Amino acid sequence: MRQLRPSPRPVPGHVFRLIRPGLRNRRPYMGAGSPEALARKYGFSLDRLVKLDSNENPYGPSPRVLETLTRPLPYHRYPEPDSETLRHALAEYVGASPEQIVVGAGSDEVILLTFAAFLGPGTAVIELAPTFVMYRLTAEVVGARVITVPRDPATYEVDAEKVIAALGPRVKVVVFCSPNNPTGNLESERTVRQVLETGVFVIVDEAYYEYCGHTFAPLIARYPNLGVLRTFSKWAGLAGLRVGYGVFSPEVARVIAGIKPPFNVSLAGQLAALESLADREYLMSTVRKTIAERERLFRELSRFEFLRVLPSAANFIYAELRRGSSRQVTEALARQGILVRQFDIPPPRGGIRITVGRPEENERLLEALSRLEPED
């Protein structure tokens, strides 16, 4: 007999009142949704679905990762508690020392750990909107207030003066994202330095570093109030294995590593990240293919007069709607088996974020777009 999933029951009142007030009615992260659910919803088989909604590497992991994980590995033993071997390999990759690196279950976990170190009730973090939504959601989890400083609506650049004007005794952290998700632009070094000079803790999220080659990590030697976050989910094709890391001054890294659960990164994740670093030539060849496709896609998308396409330094492209709405276009593409991410920026029409896929996937997207005529 089929098991019916029980419908969620409300938390009994006396238990509800024990939950932290800020978390009682909070809306959780709404990601892209599982490909299985989306395939079912739009009536496609999974292998016909073109998944351009989560900024993954469409070429997958390095063959060395796949080969390593087929071997009999000691899965009955705990992994290295502080990802020691991986931290040494990362130190060489980043140009830092192993004491400066903290590894997490995806950079999502490193965001959480870093926030937990600096933020809590009575403190605030500055987000530079539009940007990656996890900063806001993670701040809510640790009980900190979020102060939003909007980016320039035409270029999505950050105005350092506005950030500095928003600082106050409660603000402990400012989060930059370079290239920024979803708008794809790099942060300016001058702006980041101006904010660093104020002494507030600055995070630069470099989840898409390998697609642009520009990093703020060397500034950590001069500014101990800087932390740089990276991930293996994008360039290395390991989104499903959950490995990310942060680079900090040794003093800050010690505090963050001290909060971390001891075995936060699985054995499979640690080994896969090590093999990815050892095979970075191969992985960078997939990155180069994506960059070439990004430039082609940018040119092709720019032909659609209902889109305003933004240049991108990442593995995705943001396009604002000039006609119709992002909801309408996202739905119409999904009905053709193509998944992109819908945003409400800029109002009222919003925009879509398109992950750069393989050439044949990008072709399907372009064909599907050419069949659309968004209307107001």
Asked if 243 and 106 touch (Cβ cutoff 8 Å), the reply is: yes
Min dist. Cβ of residue 137 to ligand PLP (A) = 12
Asked if 328 and 374 touch (Cβ cutoff 8 Å), the reply is: yes
Run of H or E including 294: helix 280-301
107 binds ligand PLP (CB under 6 A): yes
Interaction residues for ligand PLP, span 276-335 (CB under 6 A)? none
Q: At 45, phi and psi to the nearest 5? A: -80, 155
233 binds ligand PLP (CB under 6 A): yes
Min dist. Cβ of residue 252 to ligand PLP (A) = 19
Distances (CA, A) of 192 to 185, 286, 288: 14, 30, 27
163, two tokens = 């950030």
> What would you report as the CA-atom Rg of the chain, rounded to the nearest whole angstrom?
21
Min dist. Cβ of residue 245 to ligand PLP (A) = 9
Query: Which residue is closest to ligand PLP by CB?
Result: 106
Distance CA 193, CA 219 (A): 9
264 binds ligand PLP (CB under 6 A): no
56 binds ligand PLP (CB under 6 A): no
With a CB cutoff of 8 Å and minimum separation 6, the contacts of 250 are 97, 99, 100
Interaction residues for ligand PLP, span 109-148 (CB under 6 A)? 132
57 binds ligand PLP (CB under 6 A): no
Interaction residues for ligand PLP, span 1-20 (CB under 6 A)? none
Q: Which of 123, 231, 312, 362 binds ligand PLP (CB under 6 A)?
A: 231
Residue closer to ligand PLP by CB (options 187, 205) is 205
DSSP 273-284: HHHHHHTHHHHH
Asked if 143 and 191 touch (Cβ cutoff 8 Å), the reply is: no
Residue closer to ligand PLP by CB (options 82, 187) is 187
Interacting span for ligand PLP (CB under 6 A) from 32-40, 79-87, 105-113, 253-261: 105-113
Q: Which of 50, 55, 115, 356 binds ligand PLP (CB under 6 A)?
A: 55
Query: How many CA within 13 A on the CB side of residue 96?
Result: 26
Binding site for ligand PLP (CB under 6 A): 55, 106-108, 132, 177, 181, 205, 207, 231, 233, 239, 244
